[in-house]
Structure 1
């Protein structure tokens, strides 16, 4: 997020969720597929598998 100039608040707004919800999702590591797709585009993520499908 920081590399692309996003705060949690700004990213939450882009995803259409509250900052609190984003914080919880970041801590748990649980996102819906639509949220993942949006984050890949918004944050210009080159290799999403490494981020979203870690063991």
Structure 2
């Protein structure tokens, strides 16, 4: 598998803290991280970690 193909497979996956910041739920990634670590963010009904990978369609 070529390096470019690997990147294309992962383009639909992003860390939860980055997604919350990019979607403008929080002004900074630091704030998004603090909210996740503080238990304010749930993913599929469970408390999430900042490193949780979010996929398109979930």
Relative to the length of structure 1, the TM-score reads 0.40
Relative to the length of structure 2, the TM-score reads 0.39
User: Which structure's CA Rg is the greater one?
Assistant: 2
Instruction: Give the strand-richer structure, 1 or 2.
Output: 2
Q: Which has the higher contact order (CA 8 A, sep 6+)?
A: 2
Instruction: Give the helix-richer structure, 1 or 2.
Output: 1
